[in-house]
């Protein structure tokens, strides 16, 4: 997903105002539904210990908001979602 240009919603200007927070409004709910459906199916089939789901991006975002109201790329960290595969939950 590239939120730098106006590819999420043609009604929004291509001036950077279509940034990550607006992109998450568009892409977040379908991703949540897909991940939930897959994990539910894996658990129902008894495959939750054999299959690991990993969702991750190529970079994180800076903790500080920049002058245009967004956050810059930060290669020092990223967010990762992991589920299944016999993972022991509750450990950070």
Bigger pLDDT: 1 vs 83: 83
Q: Which two tokens stand for residue 32?
A: 């949540």
pTM, two decimals, is 0.64
Q: Which whole number is the average pLDDT over 3-15?
A: 51
Tell me how far apart the alpha carbons of residues 47 and 89 are, in angstroms, rounded to a whole number: 16
Question: Judging by beta carbons within 10 Å of its beta carbon (0-12, 13-18, 19+), is residue 18 exposed, middle or buried?
Answer: buried
- pLDDT per position as a tens digit, 26-57: 778 888 999 999 999 999 999 999 999 999 88
Whether pLDDT at 73 is above 90: no
């Amino acid at each position: 997903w590239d939120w730098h240009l106006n590819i999420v919603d043609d009604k929004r200007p291509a001036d950077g105002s279509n940034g990550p927070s607006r992109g998450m409004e568009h892409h977040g709910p379908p991703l949540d539904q897909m991940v939930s459906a897959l994990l539910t199916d894996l658990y129902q089939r008894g495959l939750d210990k054999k299959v690991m789901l990993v969702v991750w991006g190529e970079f994180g975002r800076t903790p500080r908001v920049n002058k245009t109201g967004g956050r810059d790329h930060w290669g020092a960290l990223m967010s990762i979602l992991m589920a299944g595969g016999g993972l022991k939950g509750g450990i950070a």
